[in-house]
Structure formats: structure tokens, C-alpha cells
Amino acid sequence: MRKTIPLIAAAAALVASAGTAQAQSGFALKGHYLFNASDVENRDTQTPVADGFSVGAEFVLPFSLGVGVTAYTTGKATEVDRESTSFGVLAEANYFIDIPLLPVTPYVGVHGGLGQYTIEDAGAADPEFKDSRTQLGWQVGARFQFSQLIGLDAQYRRVSESASEDQGGDLERDQVLVGITLF
């Protein structure tokens, strides 16, 4: 019984402090593990189907609108090769729905692809916009604020690559992202 009293007190303090944390506004860095599922039956396409990771930056305005840029790739972070590994870049906008007294903030948003690049392309002095892989889509998610500086994100993203004339509607995929946000 003596050992459980400090554990109960620590859990109560954690719940009380988490209940006061709400979605933050301002600049944030994000990192996610990405689970990919593709509707494509032909695996010879450019659509990534392996799980991967993403990194990004976001600026959440005081009126709960977040705008940001995210880059994602498939495969393990330890297997990234400078010449051959490509990554997609997305511009996104999310609207955060503040729920008073709860540390969970749901959000909805849209995103558009800014092209597919390699690390070598990104390191060039003047990288060109590449629309070889146009993407449009939407996302829903929730952010749990552990503290004023750290949030845990869970997001479902629907990606459509049928926006370009040379791409068909077969390049649809679902992504589930789980990661952290640092304010």
C-alpha cells in the first residue's frame, strides 16, 4: 500500500498538469513514423508503399490555423542514400479544434504535393519545383499535449495523385502517421 500511494500521487499530478495543456500556437518541428497503404495493384509505379518517416515544420497561428511543410520518404532512416532516395514534399494547412480543459486537440486539414526530390536535388543552390508527382488530399488527426513544449500526434492522411494529367486515379493511398511535435 505504501508503494502505491506515491504512484497514485504522481499519476494524479500528471493528469492535472496535462489537463491544463492546450494546443500551442507558434513555430513547431514535427517528426512522424509513417504507415503507408496503397490502392495500386501494379507495384512498378512510383507510389511508395513501404512504411517510412516524415519531418516537417509548422506555424500555428493564434486563431488555430496551422500551416506547414512536410517531407516524407519510405524505408528506414538508416537506409537513406544521398543519390537514390527520393522524398515527397507537402504543403499543408490544418485547423485545430480547441476543446477547453482537455489536452487533446483534434484537427482537420488539406495538403498539396510540391514534388518529389532526392537529397542531391535539395542540396542544389537553386532547386527547381518538380511537379512529376502531384498530390492533393486531406487529413484528420489529434494532438495530445503532454506539456507546453511536447505534443503527440496521430493522423490519418488520404493522398490522391490523380491531379496531374499523366496520372490516373489508381494512385490513391492511405497514410497513418504517429509522432511528436516540439514547440
Q: DSSP H helical segments within 73-139, as ranges? A: 119-122
Residue 183 near residue 24, CB atoms below 8 Å: yes
Distance CA 112, CA 160 (A): 9
Tell me, what's the pLDDT at 17? Answer: 45
Q: Which three cell numbers stand for residue 156?
A: 490519418
Q: DSSP H helical segments within the chain, as ranges? A: 4-20, 119-122
Q: What is the pTM of this model?
A: 0.74
Q: Which residues contact 173 (CB under 8 A, 6 or more apart)?
A: 36, 37, 38, 39, 40, 47, 49, 158, 159, 161
User: What residues does each domain of the chain span?
Assistant: 4-182
CA dihedral (50, 45, 56, 156) positive or negative:
negative
Name the β-bridge partners of 35.
176
Tell me, what's the pLDDT at 107? Answer: 97
Return left, alpha or beta for 13; rule: phi > 0 is left, psi -120 to 50 is alpha, else beta: alpha
Tell me, what's the pLDDT at 71? Answer: 87
For the domain with range 4-182, which CATH number is right: 2.30.30.240, 3.40.50.970, 2.40.160.20, 2.60.40.10? Answer: 2.40.160.20
Residue 178's H or E segment, with its range, is strand 172-182
Would you give per-residue pLDDT tens digits along the chain (183 residues)? Answer: 455 554 454 444 444 444 444 557 899 999 999 888 765 555 455 544 578 889 999 999 988 999 999 988 877 766 777 666 778 888 999 999 988 888 899 999 999 887 777 766 666 655 555 555 567 899 999 999 888 899 999 999 998 765 555 555 555 778 899 999 998
Residue 174 near residue 149, CB atoms below 8 Å: no
Residue 41 near residue 18, CB atoms below 8 Å: no
Closest-CA residue to 54 (of 126, 164, 139): 139
